[in-house]
Amino acid sequence: MKLRIATCRPIPKFDTDEAPLLAALAARGIDATLGAWHDERVGWEEPGATVIRSTWNYIHHLDAFLDWAARASTAGPFWNPLSIVRWNIHKRYLLELGARGVATTPTTLFERGAIVDLGAEVDAHGWNEFVLKPAVGAGSFGTRRFARSELADARAHLASLLPTRDMLLQPYLSSVDGYGERALVWLDGEFTHAIRKTPRWSGQKENVSTALAIEPDERALGEAALAPIASILAGSSRMASSSGLAGAPRSAQPPELLYARVDVARDASNRPVLMELELIEPSLFLAQHPPALARFVESLARRLAD
């Protein structure tokens, strides 16, 4: 079966996974074509399998992206599956996972167009430094760090985005300056490696480490973050079906994940907390860990054969 790899054009940053993945797929004998999700010449609705990779401009074309995903998923296998995409595309999932007992970064959601007293919100939490970012985001778009003394600038930033986007308010975790934010890569049922990321704000370049071993408490958090997804999606399926929503998943059992990335940092008590759970288009840092690249390609080969 032909495999289509979804990207975007122009691509907002260099995709370090692209070249090694294409080379490894070719070496495995898999016929893979790279194409922009918004390019209809690719023939997304023709029979074949699709794997989402570097579709990083979707945040500016959300409805069109979800429409594309729905259409492409009818043509054959689609990874990660459509129900996963719909659930993970908005970071309100952090609130849902937190309510289920997963240790997450404290997060407040401001819905688009809301009137927000940002100073009161920050003071209520007692945060000296905080982060504002879009609830639907990729890379560092719209993500900025502020001190309490920079409240005027923070208000202006929020006012520039909140009329058109849901926004998140979170504390700035100082551990990312030294220990760093850790991205745990999960492929086809197994965590494979981690990398350390330095803080990155809107417009800045991402700096990452070589592959690292996963700390036991971070692995436990990653497993806890992934564990509720099956029941979350099953519940969403039942609710959508009972309400008659078009395009709702038919099965109460959610489809299997192919890949995930769990981004974690440590809070003031050195406890790992979930920063983001990336299930749509995360960089997987395959070049940093060849065994992970091999696992990803073999997983795709097996699924294509099935």
The class (CATH top level) of 93-100+176-278 is alpha beta
| Region(s) of the chain under CATH 3.40.50 | 3-87+286-305
Give the pLDDT confidence of 177-199 residue by residue, as tens digits.
989 999 999 999 999 999 998 77
Q: Angle formed by the axes of helices 118-125 and 151-161, to 10°?
A: 120
CATH architecture for segment(s) 3-87+286-305? 3-Layer(aba) Sandwich (3.40)
Cis check: omega of the bond before 80, within 30 degrees of 0: yes
Q: What is the pLDDT, as a whole number, of residue 230?
A: 78
Longest dimension (CA), the chain: 58
Q: Which amino acid is at 260?
A: A
For residues 266 and 31, give the distance between their C-alpha atoms in angstroms, rounded to a whole number.
42
Considering the four listed CATH numbers 3.30.420.10, 3.40.50.720, 3.30.1490.20, 3.40.50.970, the one that applies to the domain covering 108-172 is 3.30.1490.20
Residues 6+ apart with CB under 8 A from 55: 6, 7, 8, 37, 65, 280, 281
Average pLDDT over residues 69-97: 96
156 burial class (0-12, 13-18, 19+ CB within 10 angstroms)? Answer: exposed
Six-digit token string for 199: 């803080």
Give the pLDDT confidence of 222-266 residue by residue, as tens digits.
999 999 887 777 765 544 444 333 333 333 334 589 999 999 999
Q: Which amino acid is at 96?
A: E
Q: What are phi and psi of 194, to 5 degrees?
A: -130, 160
208 pairs with which residues across the strands?
Answer: 197
Dihedral, CA of residue 72, residue 284, residue 95 and residue 255, to nearest 10:
40
